[in-house]
Each structure stands twice: as C-alpha cells, then as structure tokens.
Amino acid sequence: MRSGLSLSQQNAIRLGLVFVLFEILAALAVVFFLMLPMALRAASDLAGLIVLSAQTWSELPPETRPAFERELVAAHGLFLAAEKPAGAAATSKGGPYIRKFESELTRRAGMAVTLSSETRAGEIWHWVGIPSGGRLLWAGFSHDRVGPQPLLAGILTLATGLLLAGVAAWWLARRTVAPLERFDLAAAALGRGETPEMLPESGPRELAALAHRFNQLVIQVRDLLDARTTLLAGLSHDLRTPLARMRLALEMQERRPDPAWIARLDQDVEEMNTLVRDMLNLARGLGQEAATTVDLTALLNELAERAREMGTQVTVRAPLLQLQLAPAALRRVLDNFLTNAQRYAGKSGIELRVEANEGVCRIGVLDSGPGIPADQLEAVFRPFHRVESSRNPATGGTGLGLAIVRQLAQANGWRVWLENRPEGGLAAWISLPMVAG
C-alpha cells in the first residue's frame, strides 16, 4: 500500500491554506483601506505642521522664538534650527509615508524638499529645510515621530495570522480525525476477534452516528460469538443424554433382545434429529421471506382450530385485517408461541388478540398459566435457555424455539417480547408495521 499524508496532515494543510489566504486578504484590506490612508493623512498633517511652524517662527519676535521652540518640542516633538546639522545627509530610503511626507512638503513649500537623516545617540533623526522669511529654516523630528508603518504592520499581521492559522488548522484536524483513529483501532481489534470498548457517541452528528452504528455492530458480533459458544456447548450437552440412552439400549439389546429397545432407539434418534435441525435453522439465520398479502384473521382462526383439535380452548379477538408480511415466518412465530402456551398453560384458555394502532399491529398469545419469573422474560430468548430445569425435551423443549423466534423477528423487522399478565398468565407479543395488503 502506498504511504502518503495522513488524513490529519491533509486536513491541516487544507485548513492552513484556507486560513492563510484569508489572512492575506484581511491583511491587504487592513493595510490598503485603513492603515495606508491613515499613514498618508498623518504624513500630510506632519508636513502641514512643519510648514506652519516654520512660518510662525519667522513671524515671531526674536525674543519669543526660544519659548515657541520649547513648546514645539514639548507638544509635537519637533525641533527648529537655523542651520542644517552637520551629520545630516540625504537618504534614499523611504516608504510610502516618507514619500508622501516629502511630496506634501514640496507642495506646501513651493520648492523641492528632500529629507536628510542623521543618527544621534543611537536614534535616527530626520531633517528638512523649509523656506521661511527669506531664509532656509531646518525642522527635525525623531524617527519614532514618523507615525504609522503600514508595511510593517501588514507583515506582522500576516506572520501572526500564519501562526494562528497553523495552530488552528492542526487543532481542528486533530479534533476531526481523533474519533476516526479511535474507530480504526476499534475496527482492527474487532477484526482480530477481540471485543473492543464502546466508542463514545459524542461530537459531530455524523461521527456520533458512525460511532453508534459501530457500537451496534460490536454488540451484534459479541452476541453472535456468545450464541456460537452457547450453541456448541448446548448441543454437546443435550446430545450427551440421548447418546447415553442409545448406548444403554444397544447393550440391553445384545443381552436381552426386545422390540421396545428398538423403539427407544428410534425415539432418541428423532430427538437428536430435532435438536440438530433446530440448531441448523438458528445457525443459518433463516433468511428473509418475501412479503405477500395475508388475511390475518383467517391465519389466526386456522391456528386456533388446530389447537382446539388438541383439546385446548382458544379464542380469537381480531378485526378483519389484511397485511403485507412474510406469512411463513409469522406462522412459525405464532405457532411457537401457541405451542409454548399449550405446554405450560395446560388445558386453560388461550386467547389470540390483535391490536392495531398508529401504524403498528400487535399480535398476542395470552394464556392463564403460571407465567415466567420477571428476570427470565428476556433470558428465554437465548439459545438453550429453559425455564423448566429438567432439560427434558418432552416438557421443556430443546431451548431453541424462542431463539429462532427472535431471529425470525429481527430478519423481518419485527419485535417480539414476553410479559406477565396482571391477572395471571403470560402474554407473548409480536409487533409489526401495518402495511395494508
């Protein structure tokens, strides 16, 4: 498999590029539409202040000029000198602010003005000569007085934006990819036959839904593994008894031949065949049957009539109803419920009841028997689980009937459950969607 960038790295790069582009556009907008106009306006104001100060200085009486110079320094950081400082030299360096400053001075002074610079005590000073009162008056100011520096501000803004963009992209990518990495580890553990821990069903809706589906898959796989272990253990356990009886019957047949031993052998073989058949049906998953139109009332009356032939009192309470469903699967579920009711309720009455409401149809098999302990109502749907502890197939069955019922219901999108009736007895229910036939 070709190795490349991880999903986290790819997302970080994509997010970083988006953030960088946004920061560049934002920096350009701030520089050209806000900071540069402010810098140009500040350069124009400073040029106007220098020209006005030079004119004012020339018009003042000589004795008041020192006070005016001190006021300029204190209020505006601006120095006036009659002579150009010896260390000042013309400079070719300048940004938009300096160029605008020189342009404004030239316009206001009526002559070409060039900026000169010198260094004093490690500090840069700028000087300009302004014609005033028939002479050239020099005005100086510190480089710190220059004011806004849009290009520097843009560079700093862009650099900060790039750093924040990288951090934000990494954080968002990790936050998005971390659940997928947990999912990958859990899927790998599941593939090795291990049972991984449940994934947290939190975060973005799509990831939470994915975690929920994976957790459901883990539960199903775990149940399948448990069912496989139970099937093998239960089959080996339940086959041991008829095999022992068959061995005994063969030994007795050798010592004292009797047709009764042959009949017992045949009965044990049939018991083993029933057990193996039920186990294979459960292991195959029973498939999914095509839906057809079924007259529900007629089906229940047919099942009730067969039960009456065996001496059981059965009543049917159902409206006239035709539904689209899998007929063989429903017949098998109801037949299993009815057989269990006959086995445990004896000759007491059994009721087949249909309740249809809000698009859902519930079919119940209600008996008046002893019921089931509350802690066994769900456990009886597990393979080989019997409420009757003798493990005699004649009284307790193979323990696979309700497991097959649950699997049939799941294959067709139905729901089955048991509940004890308040007046005594057990109610076995199956709920299925009402799709009119």
8 A C-beta contact, residue 349 and residue 314: yes
In a domain, 214, yes or no: yes
In a domain, 175, yes or no: no
Whose CA is closest to 333, among 419, 420, 413, 404?
404
What are the distances in angstroms from CA 91 to CA 50, 79, 116, 127, 206?
19, 19, 6, 10, 63
In a domain, 185, yes or no: no
Say if residue 21 is in the same domain as residue 94: yes
Radius of gyration of the chain (CA): 48
Output the pLDDT for position 281.
60
**Average confidence (pLDDT) per 10 residues, the chain, 437 residues:** 59 72 77 75 82 86 88 85 78 68 81 80 81 82 67 71 74 74 80 77 78 82 67 62 76 79 79 70 58 89 86 88 85 86 78 89 90 86 64 52 80 88 90 79
Distance CA 366, CA 420 (A): 9
Instruction: Give the range of the structural domain holding residue 229, as residue numbers without chain letter.
Output: 198-284
* CATH code where residue 120 lies: 3.30.450.300
Say if residue 277 is in the same domain as residue 395: no
Distance CA 238, CA 391 (A): 8
The DSSP code for 253 is H
8 A C-beta contact, residue 418 and residue 427: yes
Last residue of a domain, one of 87, 118, 153: 153
Helices and strands in the chain, H and E counts: 11, 12
The DSSP code for 313 is -
8 A C-beta contact, residue 312 and residue 352: no
Say if residue 128 is in the same domain as residue 255: no
Beta strands, E only, 133-175? 135-142
* CATH code where residue 344 lies: 3.30.565.10
Output the pLDDT for position 392.
45
In a domain, 230, yes or no: yes
Say if residue 241 is in the same domain as residue 344: no
Distance CA 111, CA 371 (A): 114
In a domain, 292, yes or no: yes
To the nearest 10°, the Cα dihedral for 144, 150, 156, 157?
Answer: 140
In a domain, 111, yes or no: yes
Last residue of a domain, one of 234, 252, 284: 284
Say if residue 280 is in the same domain as residue 318: no
Report the DSSP pairing between strands 360-367 and 314-317. Answer: unpaired
CB-based contacts of 404, cutoff 8 Å, min separation 6: 278, 281, 282, 286, 332, 336
8 A C-beta contact, residue 199 and residue 211: yes
8 A C-beta contact, residue 49 and residue 139: no
Whose CA is closest to 109, among 90, 96, 128?
128
Distance CA 252, CA 262 (A): 10
Distance CA 178, CA 174 (A): 6
In a domain, 162, yes or no: no
Say if residue 291 is in the same domain as residue 421: yes
CA 141 to chain centre: 62
* CATH code where residue 222 lies: 1.10.287
Say if residue 316 is in the same domain as residue 204: no
CA 52 to chain centre: 69
Q: What is the DSSP string of 260-296?
A: HHHHHHHHHHHHHHHHHHHHHHHHHT---PPPEEEEH
Total number of domains in the chain: 3
Say if residue 25 is in the same domain as residue 132: yes
Whose CA is closest to 341, among 262, 428, 244?
428
Question: What is the value of pTM for the model shown?
Answer: 0.46
Say if residue 311 is in the same domain as residue 271: no
Angle between helix axes 36-59 and 96-109 (nearest 10 degrees) is 40
Report the b/e string of 8-27 with b at 16+ CB within 10 A: beebbeebbeebbeebeeeb
Output the pLDDT for position 391.
42
Last residue of a domain, one of 95, 128, 153: 153
Say if residue 16 is in the same domain as residue 91: yes
In a domain, 110, yes or no: yes
Say if residue 260 is in the same domain as residue 308: no
Say if residue 358 is in the same domain as residue 419: yes
8 A C-beta contact, residue 38 and residue 148: yes
